[in-house]
Structures are given as structure tokens and as C-alpha cells.
Amino acid sequence: MRTFEMDRYHMGRLRPGEDLLEGIESLLSEKGIRAGYLWVLGAVRSGAIGFFDQEEQVYRTIEFDEPMEILTCQGNVSMKEGRPFPHAHITFGDSRGRAVGGHLVAGNEVFVAEVCIAEFSGHPLERVDIPELGLQLWRTE
């Protein structure tokens, strides 16, 4: 198990109409964040979540075309293929109080999104292929 120190804390807001995942990726690149933890609160105009099909080893996307509240969105930041990679899960709430959640994927149009990122110092974790699982996970060596 690696140990990290929190180096800096970043807080900001994404622009309405921006894609949530792409906005987070831009923030990570702009600030040079290679390792960290992230949280997001806000709402989307429409969006999507991902679900990993363990048997077929592929991500499935579930789309929705209605405004939803971001009840919680949290995840980590590590390196994947030489670039900062946000791995986050998100839970949305609809106008009737029902919740749906899954993997944060592209396709979430921001209405409002407040993003907090705790940046860690130290050698960042790197994602590598784990063929038997069909995923790119942290290198554990």
C-alpha cells in the first residue's frame, strides 16, 4: 500500500453546457494533477452512467434525457496512458426522488457542477491492463 500526502486542494465550478467528465479531465490537465481524490455536487440537464458487464467485460451505457441532481460523485485520480485519469462513480436523483447511479462516463451535460479535488504528492498510481478482468486497474507492484 502506498502512502500519499495531500499537497493542494482545488475547488471550482464547471460551465453550464459543458460535459461533466471532459470538464474534470480539463481541470486535471490544466492544474497538472496526477494523483488525487475528487468530489462533485450539482445538476445535469441530461446524461449517462456506465455499468461494467463483468461477464462480457465491457461497459454498458444507460442514458437519460431529463434534468437530474448530482447527489454524489466521488472518485480518484491516477495516471492512464500518460494522462491524468478520473475514475469516479456518480449517483443522480430525479424529480420524483428516485436515485440511479453508476460509473461516470461522457455524456452528462452540466447545468451546474461544483468540483473539489484533493491533490496528492508522491509518485502517482498508474493504470495497467489486467486482461483476466478486462479492466485497467492500479499497478500493485
- pLDDT tens for 76-122 read 999 999 999 999 999 999 999 999 999 999 999 999 999 999 999 98
Q: What is the mean pLDDT of residues 43-66?
A: 96
Please provide the average confidence, as pLDDT, over all residues in the chain. 95
Question: CA 47 to CA 54: how far, in whole Å?
Answer: 23
Question: CA 102 to CA 37: how far, in whole Å?
Answer: 17
Domain count for the chain, please give it. 1
Share of the chain above pLDDT 90, in %: 89
What's residue 40's pLDDT? 98
Q: Compute CA distances 140 → 42, 78, 88, whole Å.
A: 34, 13, 20
Over 80: is that where the pLDDT of 2 sits? no
What's residue 123's pLDDT? 85
Q: What is the mean pLDDT of residues 39-49?
A: 97
All three cell numbers of 16, joined, read 453550464
Q: Looking at per-residue confidence, does 4 or 73 come out higher? A: 73
Give a yes or no: residue 87 inside a domain. yes
What's residue 4's pLDDT? 80
Give a yes or no: residue 141 inside a domain. no
Give a yes or no: residue 140 inside a domain. no
Give the CATH number of the domain where residue 14 resides.
Answer: 3.30.1330.80
The full DSSP string for 64-87 is E-S-EEEEEEEEEEEEETTEEEEE
Give a yes or no: residue 122 inside a domain. yes
Q: Name the 3-class secondary structure at 59.
A: strand
Question: CA 118 to CA 31: how far, in whole Å?
Answer: 12
Range of the domain at 127: 5-135
Give a yes or no: residue 102 inside a domain. yes
pTM reported for the whole predicted model = 0.92
Over 90: is that where the pLDDT of 12 sits? yes
What's residue 47's pLDDT? 93
